[in-house]
A and B are shown apart, each in its own frame.
Chain A
Amino acid sequence: MVPQKFEYAAPDSLKSVLQLLDAGAKPLAGGMSLIPMMKLRLAAPEQLVDLQKVKELSYIRESGNAIHIGAMTTHYEVETFPVLLRKCPLLAETAAEIGDLQVRNRGTIGGSVAHADPSADYPAALQALEAKLVLIGAQKERTVSAAEFFVDAFTTVLEPGEIVREVIVPAEELGTGTRYEKVVQPASGFAIVGVAVRVRRSAGKISFVRVGITGLSNHSYRATSAEATLAGTTGAAADVQNAAALVAEGIDANSDLHASANYRKHLASVHAARAITTAISRAS
């Protein structure tokens, strides 16, 4: 299968990109989802603006207690960048679970989050990290939280002409334990369910916990009732079970060839427990 015709531009400045987007072009980041969709003719943009030459979108920078990741940073870079491995290992661990070697070489964090595939890996981590996303269009730049950003399947708050400029994640405080657990859909490599967890302990108690979920429903979310249940406990097995049992509470779970809604919910709980347990073991 081959794509339909389109106009193509690959400017090297963000400004030019934004002008083209403003004129109706569709952004092309790594293309790992868009190009297959175009080949299958499920997508047929008339005009593509390729972001790959925009150097100002490709960086990982530490600034204060935050790490700024340019939208065109590849999954491989996220997976291996020393600062991330040290200070935001959850994101690196999540990136390592995406697709495969070739996809991680070319796919980008900005492209992935903007595509908002409900089975994508990053959203779980970004929810747990309470990441911020800087969105930019020709007219304005704004910052939204991950919780606000993901609206529905393949739907975000991005407006026409707007792209993700960067993703901001926290540099973890010392002692934070994190874990990304994924149930892989065996054909596509996407997540049937993905659970990202961050935990801190203080005086023998769970002082901080964040749980992000992907794959379960149309969009990623933070499992706040599970967090609340775990916080303040010692993080014993029973506490973990009690919390994990709540991660899918009230969620309208997806159902497909690979997992029914009930099974997905069950998997979310099981893997939440495992992720929390591992995260606790990694917390010091």
Chain B
Amino acid sequence: MKITCTINGKTYSNDVETRLLLIHYLREVAQLTGSHVGCETSLCGACTVEVNGKAVKSCTMFAVQADGAKITTIEGLASNGTLHPLQEAFWNEHGLQCGFCTPGMIMASKQILERYPNPTEDEIRHGLAGNVCRCTGYQHIVNALKAAAAGARK
């Protein structure tokens, strides 16, 4: 089935199997391997990307369902070599260790800050409920979101 979508501002048009998961389309067809696969039950969040402005788990969506969609992945966050404030914040606050969950974590965080520009710790923690990190214990991730939010308020 032929699909056309925009990923990180670039148009992609491909013939895909209907069963191809969006995450595999992004990783293997569009060759954007920043989003990761960490489970098959839609519980780890490593594959989180933005589809039409909404953070979604790209392992729980078929590529054909993204026909016509505007998609942003972790690779599309930095612009012209300038990191997105959340990327900076994750870096500054040591919000990652092995880095595997990080792309999904940052994409979910982006949505959290869009909805809660001035988030409480509780809003951050519950907002991240769909993303597992096995390394950080989350505290530095919470700090990263706080820092990014504070930066945006300046």
Contacts and interface: CB of A to CB of B under 8 A. Distances in A.
Interface of A: 1-8, 10, 31-32, 35-36, 38-40, 48, 50, 52, 76, 99-103, 105-106, 187-189
A106 B18 contact: no
B40 A1 contact: yes
Interface in B59-82: 59-62, 64-65, 67
B60 A105 contact: no
Contact of A36 (B41, B48, B112): B41
A240 B131 CA distance: 37
A39 B56 CA distance: 17
A35 B61 contact: yes
Given A52-B65, A101-B112, A31 B60 contact: yes
A106 B56 contact: yes
A102 B58 CA distance: 10
A1 to B, nearest CB: 4
Contact of A8 (B18, B41, B61, B128): B18
A90 B91 CA distance: 40
B45 A100 contact: yes
A2 B24 CA distance: 10
B64 A10 contact: yes
A5 B19 contact: yes
Given A1-B40, A5-B19, A35-B42, A106 B130 contact: no
A1 B55 CA distance: 22
Interface string B6-27: 0000000000011101001000
B18 A5 contact: yes
B120 to A, nearest CB: 15
Contact of A103 (B21, B24, B64, B130): B130
Contacts of B36: none
Contact of B42 (A2, A36, A187): A36
A99 to B, nearest CB: 7
Closest 10 CB pairs of A and B: A100-B130, A8-B18, A105-B54, A1-B40, A100-B129, A3-B19, A39-B40, A102-B130, A35-B60, A102-B57
Contacts of A2: 19, 21, 24
B106 to A, nearest CB: 13
Contacts of A52: 65
Contact of A102 (B18, B41, B48, B65): B48
A4 B19 contact: yes
